[in-house]
Amino acid sequence: MTAATQVERSFTITRRLDAPRELVFQAWTDPDQLAQWFAGEMPSQGIATTVDLRVGGCWRLHMIEDENRSYMTGGIYHEIVPPEKLVFSFGAIDGWPQLDPSNLDDAPLVTITLDEMNGATEMVLQVAFADRLTDDRVREWLATGMTEGWNITLDRLAPYLHGMVG
């Protein structure tokens, strides 16, 4: 009999950003700024980024990976503590990942914390999966390339902020 491999039910990405946390928070919550760095360099083809910054509100963004793949993404806010913290269920209605507002426990939960560090910001992004999800479902989520995708997306934030404060 072999022991079952334990599935990691979350992952964490940390970045040090050379900008005050107020600016980092704005980059996450202002639709014009979010559209400039989150989706990359390809134009959104006129689909507006929206942010309803309140608990229960959602943000939506047209994500364009390349000329062959684009989709709506976003989240529904659970907690907002300016300029320190954002918590949201990750996904979009009729987007990727598919989000069912009546069943948010099935969606990945993203927590972003912003800590001030002498004019810079330490940003910690954690993506967690509900305990009620099976290990197989968590493996399916992770197999989507979500970890790599978040890393690629967050890699665009530092240069964007540098342009704002530079």
**What's the pLDDT at 64?**
82
pLDDT in tens, 87-96: 999 999 888 8
What confidence score (pLDDT) does residue 1 get?
42
Kindly report whether the global pTM for this prediction surpasses the value 0.85.
yes
The CA distance from 39 to 42, in Å, is: 7
Domains of the chain: 13-165 (3.30.530.20)
Q: 143 Cβ partners below 8 Å, 6+ apart? A: none
Query: Which of 24, 31, 79 shows the shortest CA–CA distance to 52?
Result: 31
Quick check: 33 pLDDT over 70? yes
The half-sphere exposure of 34 on its side-chain side, counting CA atoms within 13 A, is: 20
Amino acid residing at 132: R
What are 50-101's pLDDT values in tens digits? 999 999 999 999 988 778 888 899 999 999 999 999 999 999 988 889 889 9
Copy the structure tokens of residue 24.
């980092």
